[in-house]
Amino acid sequence: MMMAINTEANSIRGEILYNEPMSKHTSWRVGGMADCYFKPADIEDLAMFLAMNSNDSQIYWVGLGSNLLVRDGGIRGTVIMTSGLLNTLEIVDDEIIRAEAGVACPKVAKFVAKNGFEGSEFFAGIPGTIGGALAMNAGAFGGETWEKVVSVETLDRKGNKHERFPNEYDVAYRSVNGPAGEWFVAGKFKFKKGDGEKSLKRMKALLEKRNATQPSNQPSCGSVFRNPDNDYAARLIEACGLKGYCVGGASVSEKHANFIVNTGNASALDIENLIAHVATTVKQQKGIKLVREAHIIGDRND
């Protein structure tokens, strides 16, 4: 059911689009239409939108569209876009950085270092936004988002704002569970003063290493599966002889086995079927159940 939009909501400053193709907004470059697509002007505008249009239809939040597969049948509900919109990034106190949900994680990494702090290098390797990083405890290069969280700001379905703290969440590897019915719209992070130039150099070296080992020139979602305990998903997938394995236009990357790339004409169904094939093969050959890191939403067309 489409979210009921109040046509008299003249005070809404953001942009509302209908039947928006999600292939334009995901890093895999696939996905059907979203019934409703909202681009808020700021957090206050978003709170008003939620308050004026609250009902039981589904709401999906999208940043850079990485780590996300939207099925070919599209989305029945409303997509709220944060990337480039909820984009405030500022120093609010000694060693405290505030970033809104739509700020790209690499931007946070550089901002922190350029302002004379250190410890943000891992953010440079997260191909998403702060909102997504908070929602899944995203990490890279040995660091994780919630290791730096001081507090978060959330909105609920009625547009009410909340300030929450780490002890209100159950945080684990790529998993965050907290108060139900709330979404992250900003976070405050603590970094210690240090050698920002050294941090930037380390960032550059880490990114050069990553780009040498990952298919950064092809549409993908980043890592498809979580690493199992004491092992690596990529090693298991490669050991099963799956590098280069294709389903339609989707292929297991020859460069990094935990990446599935769109070779140019993949459908969301191709990608989903390839994910399932990889997981089944690893389970059969290695006895290990791979847990999917990529989120799959929307309706199937098949």
The two three-digit tokens of residue 21, written as one number? 């193709």
Rounded Cα–Cα distance for residues 237 and 220 (Å):
16
Which tokens hold the place of 99? 């970033």
Residues tagged active-site:
174, 223, 293
Q: What DSSP character marks residue 79?
A: E
Distance CA 61, CA 297 (A): 11
| Euclidean distance between CA atoms 291 and 258, whole angstroms | 12
Residue 201: in which H helix or E strand, if any? helix 196-213
> Which of 121, 62, 94, 52 lies closest to 295 in space, CA to CA?
62
CA-based end-to-end distance of the chain: 20
**Which amino acid makes up residue 160?**
N
C-alpha 48/C-alpha 185 separation (Å) is 14
Are the C-beta atoms of residues 16 and 36 closer than 8 Å to each other? yes
CA–chain centroid gap for 151, Å, is: 19
**Per residue in 213-231, is it b (16+ CB within 10 Å) or e — as a string?**
ebbeebbbbbbbbbbbeee
Residues 6+ apart with CB under 8 A from 204: none
